[in-house]
């Protein structure tokens, strides 16, 4: 019997011996180019342009009246007067003005975000007769400035029936004038907010909404638990815009609070103080008052800036 040679098992060491050693990858050092340094320079200049006005405001609030009257004027205060920040609360009802601003601005922000999200959801995800016409109305309504409706709104609030001493026909009292409602209700709906949220809600997948409906979820549950977490950056961005705008609103608040000084907000208070005491000695107090009143706006912006950046990506990138 002839013995057949048995094929030897392939050696595992052979391929390893033949393989050429692979050098470990070393991350390349990023070369600095003139364009990169130019970009840093542009960013530095832009940051300086944004920061210098606030620095100038702070230095002005710390100057004494004598330093303001110096010729030539000194930019850096020799003896900073931090007491100016306490004096603005002692001399003026600044705490009441800030409280009114917080109440009015927060209420308007909550109402506008709520109405914008719900109306935008209906325009984006429901099909009903007249939807396109309503959407066109929302777009066209943004072309009309608020000043056109200033006088009609005053008459509507003045003759509001059964409130503020008015009878059923709106006579006998002041209606809603002189109340927080007069400062809040005219801004409870924003056409820009409705259109903005509608554009973001269009990008929400319909499959998620249909799956929730098949599971028996109602529309409010779908809106709160599924849709709102997806478009939260857009809603937070809208809230930021609304808060900043209405914190600084002057025209309507000045019109309504003429007969109700206790409802004046911080911008109106600064406007009144500047008109009554616009002297060199009072400018340090005015600048200190401005710094105190813009602090809540800066705090809200810093708290919501990450949502503002995330909103640029759009809802489609956050769903997957």
Range of weakest confidence among 154-168, 222-236, 276-290: 276-290
Q: What is the dihedral of CA 215, 216, 221, 225, to 10 degrees?
A: -10
Using CA atoms, how far apart are residues 310 and 200, in angstroms rounded to an integer? 12
Range of weakest confidence among 130-134, 189-193, 260-264, 269-273: 269-273
Kindly indicate the confidence band of residue 14, based on its pLDDT and cuts at 50, 70 and 90: very low
Using CA atoms, how far apart are residues 141 and 119, in angstroms rounded to an integer? 15
Residue partners of 288: CB distance under 8 A and separation at least 6: 61, 84, 85, 87, 88
Using CA atoms, how far apart are residues 123 and 13, in angstroms rounded to an integer? 68
Residue 103 has pLDDT above 90, yes or no: yes
Q: Nearest CA to 238 among 203, 189, 299, 295?
A: 189
Residue 16 has pLDDT above 90, yes or no: no
Residue 179 CB: number of other CB atoms within 10 A? 18
Burial of 43 from C-beta contacts in 10 A (0-12 / 13-18 / 19+): exposed
pLDDT one-digit tens code per residue, 30-55: 555 778 888 888 988 988 888 888 88
Do the Cβ atoms of 188 and 112 come closer than 8 Å? yes
Residue 81 CB: number of other CB atoms within 10 A? 17
Q: Is 77 helix (H, G, I), strand (E, B) or coil?
A: coil
Using CA atoms, how far apart are residues 123 and 198, in angstroms rounded to an integer? 6
Please state the rounded mean pLDDT for residues 257-265: 88
Please state the rounded mean pLDDT for residues 275-299: 81
Do the Cβ atoms of 243 and 109 come closer than 8 Å? yes
pLDDT one-digit tens code per residue, 111-163: 999 999 999 999 999 988 989 999 999 999 988 888 888 999 999 999 999 88
Q: Nearest CA to 110 among 30, 190, 6, 5?
A: 190
Residue 314 has pLDDT above 80, yes or no: no
User: How far, CA to CA in Å, does 107 sit from each of 111, 113, 209?
Assistant: 6, 10, 30
CB-based burial, 234-268: b 16+ in 10 Å, e otherwise: bbbbbbbbbbbebbbbeebbeebbeeeeebbbbbb
Q: Is 206 helix (H, G, I), strand (E, B) or coil?
A: helix
For residues 316 and 202, which has the higher predicted lDDT (pLDDT)? 202
Residue 25 has pLDDT above 60, yes or no: no
Using CA atoms, how far apart are residues 206 and 317, in angstroms rounded to an integer? 15
Residue 26 has pLDDT above 60, yes or no: no
Kindly indicate the confidence band of residue 191, based on its pLDDT and cuts at 50, 70 and 90: very high
What average pLDDT does the chain have? 83
Position 313 scores a pLDDT of: 55
Residue 81 has pLDDT above 80, yes or no: yes
Residue 185 has pLDDT above 90, yes or no: yes
Residue 112 CB: number of other CB atoms within 10 A? 24
User: How far, CA to CA in Å, does 135 sit from each of 130, 200, 242?
Assistant: 9, 14, 21
Determine the angle formed by the axes of helices 83-91 and 94-125, rounding to 10 degrees: 90
Position 24 scores a pLDDT of: 54
Residue 69 has pLDDT above 90, yes or no: no
Position 21 scores a pLDDT of: 52
């Amino acid at each position: 019997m002839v013995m057949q040679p048995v094929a030897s098992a392939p050696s595992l060491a052979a391929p390893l011996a033949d393989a050429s050693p692979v050098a470990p990858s070393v991350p390349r050092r990023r070369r600095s180019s003139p364009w990169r340094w130019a970009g840093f320079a542009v960013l530095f200049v832009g940051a300086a342009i944004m920061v210098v006005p606030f620095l100038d405001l702070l230095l002005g609030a710390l100057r004494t009246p004598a330093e303001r009257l110096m010729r030539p004027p000194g930019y850096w205060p020799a003896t900073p007067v931090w007491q100016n920040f306490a004096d603005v609360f002692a001399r003026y009802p600044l705490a009441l003005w800030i409280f009114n601003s917080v109440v009015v601005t927060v209420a308007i922000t909550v109402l506008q975000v709520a109405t914008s999200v719900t109306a935008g959801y209906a325009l984006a995800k429901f099909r009903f007769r007249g939807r396109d016409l309503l959407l066109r109305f929302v777009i066209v309504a943004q072309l009309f400035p608020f000043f056109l409706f200033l006088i009609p709104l005053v008459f509507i609030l003045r003759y509001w029936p059964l409130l503020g001493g008015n009878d059923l026909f709106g006579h006998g009292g002041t209606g809603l004038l002189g109340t927080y409602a007069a400062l809040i209700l005219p801004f409870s709906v924003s056409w820009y907010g409705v259109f903005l949220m509608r554009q973001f809600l269009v990008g929400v997948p319909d499959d998620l909404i249909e799956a929730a409906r098949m599971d028996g979820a109602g529309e409010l549950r779908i809106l709160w638990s599924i849709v709102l977490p997806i478009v939260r950056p857009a809603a937070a961005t809208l809230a930021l815009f609304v808060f900043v705008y209405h914190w600084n609103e002057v025209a309507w608040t000045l019109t309504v609070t003429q007969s109700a000084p206790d409802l004046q907000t911080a911008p109106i208070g600064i406007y009144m103080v500047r008109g009554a005491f616009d002297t060199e000695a009072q400018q340090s107090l005015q600048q200190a008052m401005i710094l105190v009143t813009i602090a809540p706006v800066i705090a809200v912006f810093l708290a919501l800036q990450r949502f503002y950046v995330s909103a640029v990506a759009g809802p489609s990138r956050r769903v997957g």
